[in-house]
Amino acid sequence: MKKIEAIVKTFKLEEVKEALTSIDIKGMTVTEVKGYGRQKGHTEVYRGAEYVVDFIPKVKLEVIVPDDMVDKTIEMVVEAARTGKIGDGKIFIIPVDKVIRVRTGEVDNEAI
Amino acid sequence: MVNGADTAFILAAAGLVLLMTPGLALFYAGMVRSENVLGTIMQSLIMISIISLEWIYIGYTMSFGPDVAGVVGDLSMFALHGVTNAPSETYATTIPQTVFMIYQCMFAVITPALITGAFAERVRFAPFAIFSLLWAVLVYNPVCHWIWGGGWLAGLNVMDFAGGLVVHATCGVAALVAVMVIGPRKGHGHTNFLPHNLPMTMLGTGLLWFGWFGFNGGSALAADGIAATAFVATHLAGMAGMAMWTALEWIKLGKPTTLGAASGAISGLATITPAAGFVGPNSAVIIGLIAGLVCYLAVNFKAKMQFDDSLDVVGIHGVGGITGTLLLGVFASKAVNPGGVDGLLAGNISQLGSQLIGILVVCGYTFVVSLIILKGIDHFMGLRVSPEAEDQGLDFTEHSETAYN
């Protein structure tokens, strides 16, 4: 099992969710986050004074999938989240030792 | 002789001017960070209480009481002694003196509130309150007397229809002194002080604009053609100021901003204030355009100087008030207001000289007295919050409240 952590543009969340639902991924966790990458934020101007905004709002979504679903999931996220412009985000894949469903006590693939 | 229409109009105008203070509170509060919203609002709001009380006991009599050597009114009207529903013999002779008194009270209230934008986000409440009270007594009241209360500047023919000198120049100069004495906010120059809620600032702009019709229109002190002249000039100058600032920003930065549009409107409104009842509509548009240009340049100059006049009181109210006071000497016309004066364009160069004297005297006096008051309070009480409190924000550290939960 892997955790797929994707940081994407906020307005792309809905499309990514629909793409993942279409390949039968049943749940996800979404967090509003702020950060920057190589582009180093952006500049806003108020009454002539320039401010560099370092941390740009993004959403982070986390899904846990069986190993055989990893490549397909990544493909769907990339396809849905890509605009081709700077700041489209990143995807991280992290191994998961164990999953337990609290209500029933089911474990691992049955609990996803 | 009391005139019913005049009385009704000035009572309504007094309500409009009062509304400008909570409007200003929102205008300023939208521009600060989210942990300083209530602290900023409180600094304007509390003036309604402190200055109204100051006004009825000594402010009104110092400003409009019987003249002592052209310098100040005597204290014979302490606690409104003799201020009745009979008109004054000297001022606003068609409305009850109580109406005149409460209308003028609202001007005294908003003037120290305007200063607070300069030192936003870093001053303790107690020393701030004492400063505002002393400033109202020692700066506002005498200057008001000199120009509107039959004092020595009125004798030199210095004209100010609704407060270009009395309100805007005084608050702008005091703001300049405050920035020099108090210093910049912690992290100024490398930390971001982004406005936390510009829609709140836009709401404040609307309330200020609405109230300004009472501020300038009501300064005719009668429901007459001069009030209409001032009302129209006010609207047109605000509109022209907004157009000019927005256009400049669009050309220079590539995008028009809402804060720029609001700033331009306030610039135009502040600048037309001294001239509103003395100029025709076409002059008002030109004054508004000049206001948008001059105040835009002043605010940009401040940004280059790394000078932390946090919400641009100097660049907009100070520069606007002074510019408008000078432009009165250019555009005023007796054809518009037979009771007024002729300016340069009507062939009278001497009015410009009177206006210049008024500016130098009022700005010089305000600078010196504001400096003494602020230095004194800073020495005995300390004006600034601690660096930790500045990080935490005034809402919690000074008022034990938070605006957003």
Residue B404 falls inside a structural domain: no
Nearest to B152, CA basis, from B369, B325, B358, B366? B358
Counting the structural domains of chain B, the total is 1
What is the SS3 assignment for B11? Answer: helix
Mean pLDDT value across residues B50-63: 98
A→B contacts (Cβ < 8 Å), by residue, are 44-49, 51-53
Residue B164 falls inside a structural domain: yes
Q: Which of B192, B255, B259 sits opposite A47 (nearest CB)?
A: B259
What is the SS3 assignment for B265? Answer: helix
Report which of residues A41 and B132 the model is more confident about.
B132
Q: Do B263 and A45 touch (CB under 8 A)?
A: no
> Beta partners for A6?
A61, A91
Q: Do A46 and B259 touch (CB under 8 A)?
A: yes
Confidence of residue B35 (pLDDT cuts 50, 70, 90): very high
pLDDT of A40 reads 81
Q: Which of A42, A44, A46, A52 to mutate to test the interface with B (most CBs of B within 10 A)?
A: A46
Burial class (CB within 10 angstroms; exposed 0-12, middle 13-18, buried 19+) of B75: middle
Q: What is the pLDDT of residues B374-391, one digit of tens each?
A: 999 999 999 999 999 999
pLDDT for B23 beyond 90: yes
HSE-CB for B337 with a 13 A CA cutoff: 26
pLDDT for B191 beyond 90: no
Which parts of chain A sit beneath pLDDT 50? none
Two tokens at B110?
């908003």
In the block, residue with structure tokens 């604009």: B209
In the DSSP assignment, the letter for residue B18 is H
Q: What is the pTM of this model?
A: 0.91
To the nearest whole Å, the CA of B296 is away from the closest chain A CA by: 8
Residue B30 falls inside a structural domain: yes
Q: What is the CATH number of the domain that holds B91?
A: 1.10.3430.10
**Gap between the Cα atoms of A109 and B14, Å rounded:** 73
Helices (H), chain A: 13-22, 70-81
Nearest-Cα residue of chain A relative to residue B301: A48
Two tokens at B350?
């001497």
Cα–Cα distance list, B208 to B238, B279, B296 (Å): 11, 21, 19
**Gap between the Cα atoms of B9 and B348, Å rounded:** 33
Q: Do A49 and B260 touch (CB under 8 A)?
A: no
Residue B8 falls inside a structural domain: yes
- Give me the phi and psi of B291, to 5 degrees please: -60, -45
Q: Chain B partners of A47 at a C-beta cutoff of 8 Å?
A: 259-260, 263, 299, 303, 312
Nearest-Cα residue of chain B relative to residue A52: B192
**Gap between the Cα atoms of B386 and B186, Å rounded:** 10
* Domain extent at residue B217: 4-399
Q: What is the ipTM of this complex?
A: 0.71
**Cβ of A76: how many Cβ atoms within 10 Å?**
20
Q: What is the pLDDT of residues B329-374, one digit of tens each?
A: 999 999 999 999 999 999 999 999 999 999 999 999 999 999 999 9
Averaged confidence pLDDT in chain B: 97
Q: What is the pLDDT of residues B237-265, one digit of tens each?
A: 999 999 999 999 999 999 999 999 999 99
B→A contacts (Cβ < 8 Å), by residue, are 192-195, 249, 253, 255, 257, 259-260, 263, 296, 299-300, 303, 312
Nearest to B370, CA basis, from B186, B114, B49? B114
Q: What is the pLDDT of residues B70-99, one digit of tens each?
A: 999 999 999 999 999 999 999 999 999 999
Residue B405 falls inside a structural domain: no
